[in-house]
């Protein structure tokens, strides 16, 4: 069945006790030194909640603020007088939300492109370019969307100031096409380029962190409002299980064409007739709050057609048991949330009968519902699942879905990752 979602994480890791071959962790009770070849330095200045810094390729850097400003920073650490970008009137800077992702085009010195990932202020979403719009007004703690937008820097500014007329929305051009933001966290995360020039972004499940969210209006959220606005489709009203929906942008790592925002033809569920569908953009499933991702150096292909943007390192904020960090090495992998937290089964979600409205059961009848439960659609690699309507009947195994096998578990903290490939060593560590 094409929508079946088996799991396989042969070397996905919870950064604890033991880590997978090819990944090493350096640890010390005292602050640890950077890896060989790196130095630590401080930049003076009155920075306003900087959430990231990326190099431009000519000795300069772009630093960006959660509120929606970005700055060009020289090799000496001095920021430009004028912001590279200022979209604070559009960015919803509240709770965990804001402009959390920024990527510089690999050909930045030639094309001047910068890409940003942010939550949109609801007032701006509803009223921008209308008489009702007030650039000083905010509408926070309401349903809204996340966007990916590209800007081009002007040559006359030495590529240090964006041309506002170059604004090009790649994801979220309308209220119905954005990344659904339904709660106070678990929304937009990172924006990075793959080795093949495709653009990767992480998006949380947009579910509640107060409880096991299985759909409907929940404390601190705005599902009803999102349904009324068209931000959320009724079939996506399944809480944390959005991370397991192939046809939903939430709880995923997405891979898009930076020129158009379309999905890439080598993505696992790409539909040639509808490249802007959620499934056409999906690369990885099963993330709770993939706040940060990066691509391991010297991994991947340079050809987008190969479907290999490199090994993606992700950090997924846990619900209370595991802080999950892992590696995505191939298309369609499933990190397991919410049926797994880290590498452990999540009993609170396994015990629910929430059904995937997008996956009909051909054996349904009077005594068996017409849609599969999510837990029926997620099995370990190498196992053939049975149909709950007739356990004697086995589904075909030719599905095009992700897979997972559980490896190691333990505890973790903030450390450096060493990408040693096959020369990596097993390393045990602990924290006081």
Q: What would the two tokens of residue 326 be?
A: 């892992």
Report if residue 29 sits inside a domain: no
The continuous run of DSSP H or E covering 349 comes out as: helix 347-350
Q: Does residue 39 belong to any structural domain of this protein? A: no
Per the CB < 8 A criterion, the answer to whether 57 and 159 are in contact is no
Q: Is residue 396 assigned to a domain?
A: no
- Answer yes or no: is 429 within a domain: no
Is 159 domain-assigned?
yes
Question: Which of these, 167, 159, 56, 52, lies nearest to 104 by C-alpha position?
Answer: 56
Host domain of residue 209: 48-340
Residue 386: what pLDDT?
A: 66
Q: What is the pLDDT of residue 401?
A: 42
Give the pLDDT score at 154. Answer: 98
Distance spanning both ends of the chain, measured CA to CA? 48
β-strand partners of 313: 294, 327
Per-position pLDDT tens, the chain of length 432: 333 333 443 333 333 222 232 233 333 445 667 777 888 888 887 888 999 999 999 999 999 999 999 999 999 999 999 999 999 999 999 999 999 999 999 999 999 999 999 999 999 999 999 999 999 999 999 999 999 999 999 999 999 999 999 999 999 999 999 999 999 999 999 999 999 999 999 999 999 999 999 999 999 999 999 999 999 999 999 999 999 999 999 999 999 999 999 999 999 999 999 999 999 999 999 999 999 999 999 999 999 999 999 999 999 999 988 888 889 999 999 999 999 988 788 989 999 999 888 887 777 777 788 887 888 877 666 666 667 777 665 444 444 443 333 333 333 333 444 444 443 333 344 433
pLDDT at 385: 61
Q: What is the pTM of this model?
A: 0.86
Question: Which of 325, 343, 257 is closest to 289 using CA atoms?
Answer: 325
Structure tokens at 119: 């939550």
- Separation of alpha carbons 224 and 232, rounded Å: 9
Question: What's the structural domain count of the chain?
Answer: 1
Given CA atoms 344, 242, 259, 267 in this order, what sign does their dihedral have?
Answer: positive
Q: What pLDDT, on the 0 to 100 scale, is given for residue 380?
A: 63
- In this prediction, residue 30 carries a pLDDT of 55
Residue 87 in domain: yes
The CATH number linked to 133 is 2.120.10.30
Assigned domain for 178 exists = yes
Q: Report if residue 9 sits inside a domain.
A: no
Angle CA 320–323–327, to nearest 5: 145
């Amino acid at each position: 069945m094409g929508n079946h979602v088996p799991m396989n994480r042969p070397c996905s890791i919870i950064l604890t006790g033991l880590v997978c071959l090819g990944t090493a962790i350096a640890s010390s009770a005292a602050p640890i030194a950077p890896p060989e070849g790196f130095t630590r330095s401080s930049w003076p200045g009155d920075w306003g909640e900087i959430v990231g810094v990326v190099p431009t390729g000519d000795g300069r850097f772009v630093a960006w603020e959660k509120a929606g400003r970005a700055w060009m920073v020289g090799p000496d650490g001095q920021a430009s007088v004028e912001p590279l970008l200022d979209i604070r009137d559009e960015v919803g800077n509240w709770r965990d939300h804001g402009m959390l992702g920024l990527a510089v085009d690999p050909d930045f010195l030639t094309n001047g492109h910068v890409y940003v990932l942010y939550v949109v202020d609801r007032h701006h979403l509803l009223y921008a370019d209308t008489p009702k719009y007030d650039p000083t007004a905010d509408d926070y703690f309401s349903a809204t969307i996340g966007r990916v937008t590209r800007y081009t820097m002007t040559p006359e500014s030495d590529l240090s100031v964006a041309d506002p007329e170059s604004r090009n929305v790649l994801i979220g051009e309308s209220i119905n096409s954005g990344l659904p933001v339904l709660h106070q966290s678990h929304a937009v995360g990172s924006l990075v380029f793959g080795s093949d020039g495709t653009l990767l972004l992480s998006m949380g499940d947009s579910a509640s962190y107060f409880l096991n969210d299985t759909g409907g209006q929940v404390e601190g959220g705005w599902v009803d409002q999102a349904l009324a606005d068209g931000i959320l489709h009724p079939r996506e009203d399944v809480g944390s299980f959005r991370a397991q929906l192939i046809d939903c942008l939430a709880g995923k790592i997405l891979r898009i064409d930076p020129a158009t925002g379309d999905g890439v033809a080598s993505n696992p569920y790409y539909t040639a007739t509808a490249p802007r569908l959620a499934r056409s953009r999906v690369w990885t499933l099963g993330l709770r709050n993939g706040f940060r991702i990066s691509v391991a150096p010297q991994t991947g292909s340079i050809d987008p057609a190969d479907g290999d943007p490199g090994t993606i390192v992700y950090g997924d904020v846990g619900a209370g048991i595991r802080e999950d960090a892992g590696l995505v090495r191939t298309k369609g992998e499933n990190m397991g949330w919410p049926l797994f937290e880290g590498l452990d089964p999540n009993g609170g979600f396994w015990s629910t009968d929430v059904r995937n409205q997008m996956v009909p059961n051909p054996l349904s009848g009077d005594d068996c519902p017409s849609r599969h439960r999510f837990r029926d659609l997620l099995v370990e690699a190498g196992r053939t699942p049975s149909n709950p309507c007739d356990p004697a009947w086995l589904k075909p195994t030719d599905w095009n879905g992700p897979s997972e096998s559980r490896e190691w578990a333990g505890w973790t903290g903030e450390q450096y990752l060493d990408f040693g490939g096959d020369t990596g060593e097993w390393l045990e560590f602990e924290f006081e």
